[in-house]
Amino acid sequence: MLTVDDDQAVSRAVARDLRRRYGQDYQVVRASAGADALDALRELKLRGGRVAVMLADYRMPQMNGVEFLEQAMDLFPHARRALLTAYADTDAAIQAINVVDVDHYLLKPWDPPEEKLYPVVDAMLESWQAAGDRDVDEVKVVGHRWSAPSYKIRDFLARNLVPYRWFAADEPEGRRLLDAAGAGPEAIPLVVTPDGQALAAPTSAEVAGVVGLSTAPVRDFYDLVIIGGGPAGLGAAVYGASEGLRTVLVERRAIGGQAGQSSRIENYLGFPDGVSGAQLTERARRQAGKFEAEVLTTRDVVALETRGPARVVRFNDGGELSAHSVIIATGVSYRPLVAPGVTKLTGCGVYYGSAATEGPACAGTDVYIVGGANSAGQAALFFSRYARSVTLLVRGDSLERSMSYYLIQQLAAVENIVVRTRCSVVEAHGDGHLETITVRDSKEGTTSTLPCGHLFVFIGAEPHTEWLDGAVCRDSRGFVRTGPDLLVDGQRPPGWDRDRDPFYLESSVPGVFAAGDVRANSVKRVASAVGEGAMAVTLVHKYLETG
């Protein structure tokens, strides 16, 4: 446990209080300036130590508490963080929440500590232990820079918030790891676990198994199965489990969904300075875990069946899960960019979504982004921090119709971002990785081939609900119809066997609900997805009570 406070008396008092209660199990390290505390943390890191909790005073000379925590997080990202202040300081609180995602904000003095300090530190320790602190260097991935399978593993780990260290296979440390594992080029990507297990070219499910992500259900039967781990699914998991339902959430890739890929969500209530998708996801996952919702990853649901009162979901490996009720929260995924060369280079320079893992690799290069909606605008802002230039290729005449006003203003204010309207990518070229793209400019009537190492695609989304064919009613674009949308001229949907209308978020099968982006006519926003997840749980209760 580390505490840093420039006031010696306070610093001693904090350390004393912490040692009194936690001294048996934890070493308490005290520093009186941010720089000294960082030195102590670096030393701990080299010695292979772990840090559970950091308590930092906000108002310190040279380096304030938020600045200190920001740097300290780079060394120990899993340590729980609290900011101390002598009086209420709203600005500091907001800054701290947004910059360093503090867990608590403690007002000094905290006498008696039994009431004001220990419950807070207990909660932080509990969440640190539950998260199973893993060192950043624990999982190692050895791969090729321009290889789709290597990218897939890195993206999977990053999106599941599993810290890992990347080694290029042609660099000395990468070669050393391959040698140590007795592996040749066919083993790439190689994943090495903290306990030294080496996995050659593993699947996502195999990686999930060794990094501590659950893939198998604990029970045979649940009250509620939630399909999809985006904001709607996570919202439903938190509300379902906290209201006593035996709840399991099944996610095929990485929890967080589309929102998990967002570099900055600016309009989610309670985060006036925005919040990154990764932060929001991490908090939601902890919250769902706290209420004991089970979360299974790398399980792809491919069918839904009704067997009497049971609702059964089937996985792609043939396994099944049964429950009284189901919430479909599978969202939408990117529409593919159809142009020669694109498919072959996907993962090797062409990426769908903002692919945050690629940020550092874009340093000093010219990046292109296809799309004119908010997601493309956010990605342009994100990559402009790394790239020499970012060009947004927009098919329409202007951004006004497709992008929020605040984002258009932000893009205009960044020097290395260029917006080109009425432009589209017509071909991608490269040998093993993307090298150039051909862009048609219909305004100028020209076609040009431009050097390009990174192309990020954001061109709208589709629900991909083909697996629900014949199971529940969907609209012409595949979105799941619910509640009043199912009534045609006052008639209930075919096969409906209850003497009531479907509840508001209920599908054409009683007890099967839809929430978030996958639902027909839903509002495509994080807040509405979370809200629908919560509302669907209320309707599940109603269904369980009344049938």
Q: What residues line the site for ligand FAD (CB under 6 A)?
A: 227-233, 250-253, 257-259, 261-262, 265-267, 300-301, 329-332, 354, 374-375, 378, 516-518, 524-527, 529
Task: Say how many residues make up the chain.
Answer: 547
- Can you read off the two tokens belonging to residue 99? 């910059």
CB of 288 to ligand FAD, least distance (A): 13
Residue 441's DSSP bridge partners are 423, 446
* Residue (140 or 454) nearer to ligand FAD, CB: 454
Cα–Cα distances (Å) from 28 to 53, 118, 122, 198, 294, in that order, read 10, 14, 15, 35, 34
- Candidates 352, 405, 419, 397; CA nearest to 374 is 405
Strand partners, 55: 3, 82
Please check whether residue 262 is in contact with residue 363, taking contact to mean a CB–CB distance below 8 angstroms: no
Shortest distance, position 517 Cβ to ligand FAD, whole Å:
4
Which CB sits closer to ligand FAD, 382 or 503? 382
Inter-residue contact 214 to 296 (CB < 8 Å): yes
User: Please, which residue, 267 or 446, has the CB nearer to ligand FAD?
Assistant: 267
CB-based contacts of 233: which residues, under 8 Å, 6+ apart?
A: 226, 227, 249, 251, 255, 257, 327, 329, 515, 516, 533
As a whole number of angstroms, the distance between CA 435 and CA 345 comes to: 10
Nearer to ligand FAD, 14 or 329 (CB): 329
- Nearest CB to ligand FAD, comparing residues 96 and 278: 278
> Two tokens at 214?
């659950």
What is the nearest approach in angstroms of ligand FAD to the Cβ of residue 142? 26
C-beta of 495: minimal distance to ligand FAD in Å? 22
Quote the least distance from Cβ 330 to ligand FAD, whole Å: 3
* Bridge partners (DSSP) listed for residue 488: 491
Residue 245 or 356: the one with the smaller Cβ distance to ligand FAD is 356
Q: Is the CB of residue 354 less than 8 Å from the CB of residue 263?
A: yes
How is 375-410 classified by DSSP, letter by letter?
Answer: HHHHHHHHHHTTSSEEEEE-SSS-STTTS-HHHHHH
Q: What is the dihedral of CA 31, 34, 40, 43, to 10 degrees?
A: 180
Do residues 296 and 483 touch, judged by C-beta distance below 8 A?
Answer: no
Of 3 and 522, nearer to ligand FAD (C-beta) is 522
Kindly report the backbone phi and psi dihedral angles of residue 99, in degrees, each rounded to the nearest multiple of 5, phi listed first.
Answer: -85, -45
Nearer to ligand FAD, 97 or 379 (CB): 379
Q: At closest approach, how far in Å is the CB of 452 from ligand FAD?
A: 20
**Nearer to ligand FAD by C-beta: 17 or 517?**
517
Q: Which two tokens stand for residue 286?
A: 């902890």
Shortest distance in whole angstroms from residue 444 CB to ligand FAD = 29
**DSSP code string of 249-312:** EE-SS-TTHHHHT-S-B-SSTT-TT-B-HHHHHHHHHHHHHHTT-EEE-S--EEEEEEETTEEE
Burial of 539 (C-beta count, 10 Å sphere; 0-12/13-18/19+): buried
Rounded to 10 deg, the angle between the 118-130 and 8-22 helix axes is 60
CB-wise, 7 or 266, nearer to ligand FAD? 266
Nearest residue (CB) to ligand FAD, 378 versus 391: 378
Q: What minimum distance in Å lies between the beta carbon of 166 and ligand FAD?
A: 23
Tell me whether residue 82 or residue 321 sits nearer to ligand FAD (CB atom).
321
The set of residues, in sequence order, having a beta carbon less than 8 Å from that of 394 and lying 6+ positions away, is 371, 372, 376, 402, 419, 420, 421, 422, 423
**Two tokens, residue 411:** 């893009």
Q: How many CA atoms lie within 13 A of 77 on its CB side?
A: 14
Nearest distance from residue 534's CB to ligand FAD, in Å? Answer: 12
Q: For the chain, give the longest Cα–Cα distance.
A: 76
The Cα 236–Cα 145 span in angstroms is: 38
If the CB atoms of residues 260 and 430 are measured against ligand FAD, the closer one turns out to be: 260
